[in-house]
Amino acid sequence: MAKTSAKTAPAKPKKAKSPATPVSVPENVPGPKKVRVHYLTRVEGHGNIVVDVEADGSVSTCRWEVPEAPRFFEAMLVGRDYTDVHHIVSRICGICAIGHQLASLQATEDALNINVSEQTHLLRRLALHAENLQSHLLHIAYLVLPDLMGVDSILPLAQTHKDAVLKFIAARRVSNEFSRIICGRTTHPQRMTPGGFTMFPSTDDLVSLRAMLVDTLPNLDFAVDFFAGLRDKFPQFERETEYVALVSPAEYAMYWGEIGSSRDERRPVRQYRNITREYLIPTSTAKWTKNQGESYMVGALARFNLNADFLMPRAKAAAKKLGLKKGETNPFLITLAQLVECVHTVEEAITQVDELLVRGIREEAPAKPAHVSAGRGAGAVEVPRGILFHFYEYDDAGRIFQADCVIPTNQNHANIQKDLDALVPRLSGLSEKDLELKLSMLVRAYDPCISCSTHCIDARGLDDGARSLVRFNRK
């Protein structure tokens, strides 16, 4: 397919008026210093931070490592029927199970020319909202907030800030129920299938869901006020990079759109490899990506920078209160962008539920392909950590013979490394303990889902039979 004209490219986010002052260093702690974070805490999966600062303050080592064993989901799909694929890929992640299933369904339906109803699209959009709300609230309240409050976990906050913790718990409980009502359970959805749904929420379910979403808005308002009061706790660090996310001329794109970039033209989803340009490095079992520069960012801040104009009104007000402006270049503020998205998600979900209630839920049989034949298709949705791609090639029997999944976190790995490269020299005067904390906070800000991103292994030196067992892709 031909590339979309560059004239359709989204406007480049404005640069910050002036670079913010780096994290203040109260005193110069003499070196040398070593930071060895083996399996960073409060993230999913296994990642290491390795830093050496010499006595003169120079940085001799700065490395983000992903040592986790890869899981070859693409290979597991080979030979599977198109009716099974979406259930298999939902097991890639227990946090983004809905997103993986939606990207998979899009790819399958694209490959087999399956057209779904408007009701299906509305229900799928709600499913994606449920998942993003689940994940964002988990990250904001349980994984990031302890760093801002100077504690090791949320448990001490249950004593010192009980009301706040209870409000966060209540909001997340709603997100779980949201997922159950639309998808059948809180993770690994059961109801979605190629062409539609196998079961549907009832009118009473939707009425109940709407009431819960309305009731959770005050808790999200509280969260916005609470984090606005912690704004000065976020380290001041700016590094310009490329931002990549789905974009749409009519909405804050999450479920559908083209691939947008702050430095490149828009592209249809099928051209995702022209953006991701995956490559391997020796210290990672996950692929890295780059496009116009050495790295790019995906996720809530990238979406905000490209799509902020399409936020719902309450979410725009939340962004203003949090001091978040389009064109932000501080990666620590990913968390605030996630909080803005929580407000947007609930607002938009209420309007979508209203639309379904006006239409009335219809029991629809899933759409089928007119004729199962060989084809290829791609799907992309915005999951909590960024844009997720699935690409499949099917044979004439409707069985996969090639699959490719490009995970948001593996798209962020190079950007994490470049952020560390820029940040460590500015913090070289800190003590080892404080340096480790700030670097851990940086990686945690990305909310990495490391296990999902592990997709490669060095097969050199293996015989042909062993190599075939670890082959995961035939690009």
Average pLDDT, the chain: 90
Number of domains into which the chain is organized = 1
For residue 71, what pLDDT is reported?
81
Query: Which residues lie across from 261 on neighbouring strands?
Result: 244
* 113 domain residue, yes or no: yes
High-pLDDT (> 70) share of the chain, %: 90
pLDDT tops 90 at residue 184: yes
pTM exceeding the 0.85 threshold for the entire prediction: yes
Residue 13 has pLDDT above 50, yes or no: no
End-to-end CA distance of the chain: 18
Cα 2 versus chain centre, distance: 28
Strand 242-247 to strand 296-297: parallel, antiparallel, or no bridges (unpaired)? parallel
Q: Categorize the per-residue pLDDT at 185 as very low, low, confident or very high, splitting at 50, 70 and 90.
A: confident
Instruction: Let me know if residue 244 belongs to a domain.
Output: yes
- Tens digit of each residue's pLDDT (9 = 90 or more) over 262-305: 999 999 999 999 999 999 888 898 999 999 999 999 999 999 99
* pLDDT of res. 70: 82
pLDDT at 309 over 50: yes
Is residue 145, in this structure, part of any structural domain at all? yes
Residue 149 lies in a domain: yes
| Residue-wise pLDDT tens digits, 351-407 | 999 999 999 999 999 999 999 999 999 999 999 999 999 999 999 999 999 999 999
Nearest to 101 by CA among 78, 83, 81, 79: 83
Q: Which of 311, 297, 381 is nearest to 341 (CA)?
A: 311
How many residues would you count in the chain? 475
Q: Tell me, what CATH number does 260's domain have?
A: 1.10.645.10
pLDDT score for 457: 55
Question: Average pLDDT of 214-223?
Answer: 98
Question: Per the domain annotation, does 62 fall within a domain?
Answer: no
More confident residue, 5 or 313: 313
Q: Which residues span the domain enclosing 87?
A: 6-32+68-470
Between 325 and 452, the more confident residue is 325
Residue 366 lies in a domain: yes
Residue 53 lies in a domain: no
**Per-residue model confidence (pLDDT) at position 28:** 77
Residue, of 21 and 250, whose pLDDT is higher: 250
Residue 445 lies in a domain: yes
